[in-house]
Amino acid sequence: MEQNTLYSIAKSWGQTEGALHHIEEILDWVDTRNQTVVVEIQKSTLSASPFWFYDEQQGTIHNKNNSFFSITGFEKKSKSGAVVRQPVILQQEIGFLGIICQEINGVMHFLMQAKIEPGNINKIQISPTIQATKSNFTQKHGGSRPPYLEYFEQASQYEVVVDQIQSEQSSRFYKKRNRNILIRVEEEIPILPSHKWMTLKQIKQLMRIDNLVNMDTRTVLSCIPYCKLRFTQEQKEELKQLFSDISLYRSVFEQSSRNSLPELYQYINDYKMFEDEIETLIPLHQLEGWVMEDDKIACQNPYPYQVIFCDIAMEGREVKQWTQPLFEAMGIATFGLICGEKDGVLNFLVRATPELGCFDGMELGPTVQQEAIPLPDHHETLVDHFFFERLSKGKGILFDHLLSEEGGRFYHEQNRNVLMKVKPNEVPQLPNGYFWVDYYTLNELVQVNNTLNIQLRNLLSLLEV
């Protein structure tokens, strides 16, 4: 990866001039496509699906091709005695979340897609250049190949900026991962009506519109390795001019003399080594406390989600009509990231977060990660209380918007994403598992697969200069 690419991307984070399209033009494009596209999604029943069924022998819901994903039961018993039982999504295949970037008129642009997912609350969302499961791009469903796939299949021919396999929502998926990849392509690229060039600053601005920029875009952008950038004094000064908060600039680009990696890894590795938990995949019909009905799988007690079955028809997809299960959230979760200036550097308060479907048991998550209906093993801490008290009073809020989760598997799920700035000495004494960390260190860690969870990566992607 060439240094001038990272430098151009960093500049694109703060540049307002030189964009190929104005924000208003991008919004008109999305609006026009929303008006012309036809989407119909109806809640249905499993028995009405010609493709999906419940396999009594395996205890899973899957399709006739054994492709895409399946749904099974999961049970986790912790040494504290807490037991969590729920349905989970099994999707072992790794899909592409890929973005092409290119310098146009001296400004780095990203090729973004206006994509519809069946569970999207608002039809079209701004998505990566390509967003496709392995079943999609190997055409197991009999549909057409996703556009621009060939660039990522032949990524080694181009400049690879990011190529990471990262986790997804581990509260619903079981060990699910996707390939987050960003490549720079110099050759002229034919632009389809479904795609448009945008600068990084424009994408960040669009994130402030509820449910417009999708989860997959946010996670790919969170992986950009600014920590690898080495620049001249002149370039350093030029970048500084773009930042309204110099403490954020230092946090992103200046390596701290304090190495917090051993402390972070010690805590995470201790958990992985000594936390005795028993995890078991079990048949859905053996899920205690859950009821399987033809139209849904629901918990007998309040729970963050249920499983529903949908009949879907839409244009602009590889397949035009299909049925599938979707996970429907019960309310809106809150994901919050506290930041504060320490010795002139912006630090972020992160929490080591175990999740039942996590590929390796635990990842670093945001300060607060709370479902609308908390899981049975959730315990509110003093830090949670501090965060929600300040949130209720609107104190120190940098970002507070509803953003969608993965529309290919989740039905109309939108969650509240909050960035909050505080004075670090105002925060209560930190319980075990909380850490103040600068952006540079978090950016180093995101270059390692399965270290920052999807909620933390998404919140870091929201930062503006």
pLDDT at 463: 98
What domains does the chain contain, in order, with CATH numbers?
Answer: 252-277+331-461 (3.90.79.40)
442-461 residue pLDDT tens: 999 999 988 999 999 999 99
CB 381 within 8 A of CB 369: no
List the one residue out of 278, 410, 419, 431 whose CA is nearest residue 348: 419
pLDDT of residue 82: 79
User: How buried is residue 403: exposed, middle or buried, by Cβ count under 10 Å (0-12/13-18/19+)?
Assistant: buried
Q: Which of 424, 435, 439, 437 has its CA nearest to residue 254? A: 439
Total residues belonging to the chain: 465
Q: What is the pLDDT of residue 317?
A: 56
pLDDT at 140: 57
> Alpha carbon 456 to chain centroid distance?
8
Q: CA 353, CA 333: separation in Å to the nearest integer?
A: 16
What is the rounded (10 degree) CA torsion for 243, 249, 252, 258? -170
Token pair for 373: 């209906």
Residue by residue, DSSP assigns 189-228 as -PPPTTEEEE-HHHHHHHTTSTT-B-HHHHHHHHT--GGG
Which amino acid belongs to residue 65? N
Tokens representing 424?
A: 């670090």
Q: How far apart are CA 15 and CA 104, in angstroms?
A: 13
d(CA 175, CA 167): 7
Return the number of other C-beta atoms located less than 10 Å from residue 270's C-beta: 12
Q: What's the pLDDT score for residue 375?
A: 80
The three-state secondary structure class of 262 is helix
* Predicted pLDDT at 439: 98
Q: Give the pLDDT of residue 71.
A: 98
**Ranges under pLDDT 70 in the chain:** 1, 135-143, 316-319
Output the pLDDT for position 277.
Answer: 81
For position 39, what pLDDT does the model report? 86
Phi-psi region of 106 (alpha: psi -120 to 50; beta: other; left: phi over 0): left
Q: What is the pLDDT of residue 257?
A: 85
pLDDT value, residue 314: 81
Q: How far apart are CA 170 and CA 361, in angstroms?
A: 9
SS3 310: strand
* pTM score, whole prediction: 0.95
25-32 CB contacts, 8 Å cutoff, 24+ apart: 26/196, 26/198, 26/202, 26/206, 27/209, 29/114, 29/196, 30/114, 30/124, 30/126, 30/212
Three-state SS at 141: coil
Q: Which long-range contacts (CB under 8 A, 24 or more apart) does 299-302 make?
A: 299/86, 302/330, 302/373
Question: What is the separation of C-alpha 192 from the centre of its chain, rounded to a whole number of angstroms?
Answer: 25
Residue 7 DSSP SS3? helix
Three-class SS of residue 19? Answer: coil
Beta pairing partners, 184: 101, 159
**Cα–Cα distance between 197 and 161 in angstroms, integer?**
18
Calpha distance 329→157 (Å, rounded): 41
